[in-house]
Structure formats: C-alpha cells, structure tokens
C-alpha cells in the first residue's frame, strides 16, 4: 500500500487547481470506459458471486 500512500501524498502537495484538473482528467478516463449501466452490471455480478460463495467456505 506504499504506492497508494505515496500517490495520495503527492496529490495533496499539488496546488488546488492542479488537484481539480487531475480529478477531472481521471473522471474523464473513467467515464470513457465504464458507464453507470456497466458499473451496475459489474456490481450485480459481484453480488451474485458473493452470495454463491458464501455457503461454500466453512471453517
């Protein structure tokens, strides 16, 4: 998790306008690849997988 910490630390050091520009840039990249419908499909699939696997692991 050091990399995540380093990224957060570096971003926090940027001027506010640069942080906002970076956030807009990242959001645009995310929006280009996954729309709300796709995200909901992924979430539903994950929920189904979680329910299917919840009874199979007994300690």
Q: What angle do CA 11, 7, 16 make, to 5 degrees?
A: 5
Domains of the chain, by residue range, sit at 1-35
Report yes or no: 22 and 11 within 8 Å, Cβ to Cβ.
yes
Summarised one tens digit per residue, pLDDT across range 41-55 is: 888 888 888 777 655
Summarised one tens digit per residue, pLDDT across range 7-32 is: 889 999 999 999 999 998 888 877 66
**pTM tops 0.75:** no
How many angstroms separate the CA atoms of 52 and 34, rounded?
Answer: 25
How many angstroms separate the CA atoms of 27 and 23, rounded?
Answer: 6
């Amino acid at each position: 998790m050091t990399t995540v910490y380093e990224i957060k630390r570096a971003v926090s050091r940027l001027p506010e306008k640069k942080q906002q520009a970076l956030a807009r840039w990242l959001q645009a990249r995310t929006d280009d690849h996954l729309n709300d419908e796709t995200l909901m499909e992924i979430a539903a699939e994950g929920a189904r997988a979680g329910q299917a696997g919840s009874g199979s692991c007994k300690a």
